Structure 1
Amino acid sequence: MFGWRKNKIEENTLDIISPVPGQVVGLEQVPDEAFSTKAMGEGFAVQPIQGEVRAPFPGKISHIMNRSNHAILLENEAGIQILIHVGVDTVSLKGDGFVPHVVTGQTVKQGELLLEFDIARIQEAGLSDITSVIVPGGQEKVQRIEGLQDEDAVLRIYY
């Protein structure tokens, strides 16, 4: 009796909202093969209209690229990580135009400001400001990832 409960797979989900104001587009729009071919992982990109990165869910800053400040790795309570990477080749700016508001190890709330970036500065350098939001490959807990056609969430991660 009740043997069916033993076979039920419990799935948790994490919905990802866009961390950057702007137009959400597919990764194939990113002019960098590491992202456009999904070699880094599944996700989406945003053509920003404002230079702010906000936490798409509550979590912990696993890593912020020191010196360049162009990318942040955010982790939820279950250990699921996402990478928010501002621009293409923006590491070459060596932090110029980027102002972090968090440090590695810091706990953040959904909507909290993580990073400000200067769209004009990135474009003046001849670089793309498109921002990639990636679920890095190799995370054993991640069962599947689905794109959503929702006004609020863009991606759902099942774990």
Structure 2
Amino acid sequence: MFFKKKESYITAYTDGTIIPISEVKDEVFSQKMMGDGLAIYPESDTIYAPCDGIITAVFEQTQHAVGITMENGMEILLHVGLDTVNLHEPIFHTHVKKDEAVKQGQTLITYDKEALAALGYSDVTMCVILSNGNTKEVELLKETKAVANKTNIIRYK
């Protein structure tokens, strides 16, 4: 008897409009140099954990990005904005620390949308799959509207 491996999902990490990562106006992301994924133009100022996992990276200086490793070894990066690594202003606040266990839906990052826009930065937020870990299949779903913690954006087995 064969057992079909259960499908699991990564959920939307913020409310907004989903676009293919290839449409992000930054070559590192659009050319998938770090990995495949997708992006959301956020309607809110909060980024949530799209899955359970361990925080494996926090960009301490700017607090604009976090890395999560899931139990199956899949690694994802959530990165808020384009060129935000260059910011010197305290726009972002990370609510987690490296090596902390997180649950899907937990707040990871909050930020000042208006201040970021006033400085001329986009807050498009990428979810990049850095490593598939032990997963056999990964599929980016074709949703266009994201509801944080509800919309499934990536299916994996």
TM bucket (normalised to shorter chain) is 0.7 to 0.9
Query: Against the structure 1 CA distance between its residues 127 and 74, is the aligned structure 2 distance closer, same or farther, given a 3 Å change threshold?
Result: same
Question: How much does 1:40 deviate?
Answer: 1.3
Decide which of 126, 141, 144 is 2:134's aligned counterpart: 141
Larger Rg: 1
Q: Whose RCO is larger (CA < 8 A, sep 6+)?
A: 2
Q: How does 1:61-100 map to 2 (within 5 A)?
A: 61-94=55-88, 96-100=90-94
Unaligned stretches of 5+ residues in structure 1? none
Q: How does 1:1-159 map to 2 (within 5 A)?
A: 11=5, 13-94=7-88, 96-137=90-131, 139-149=132-142, 152-158=151-157
Question: How much does 1:30 deviate?
Answer: 1.0
- TM-score, normalized by length of structure 2? 0.86
**Which residue type is aligned with residue 152 of structure 2?**
A
* Identical-residue share of aligned pairs (%): 30
Unaligned stretches of 5+ residues in structure 2? 144-149
In the alignment of these two chains, the number of paired residues is 151
Runs of 4+ in 1 over 6 A off after TM superposition: none
**Which residue type is aligned with residue 152 of structure 1?**
T
In the alignment, the residues of structure 1 paired with residue 120 and residue 127 of structure 2 have an alpha-carbon distance, to the nearest angstrom, of 21
Q: Secondary structure at the match of 2:85?
A: helix
**Which residue type is aligned with residue 129 of structure 2?**
V
- TM-score, normalized by length of structure 1? 0.85
Question: How much does 1:141 deviate?
Answer: 2.7
Query: Against the structure 1 CA distance between its residues 25 and 60, is the aligned structure 2 distance closer, same or farther, given a 3 Å change threshold?
Result: same
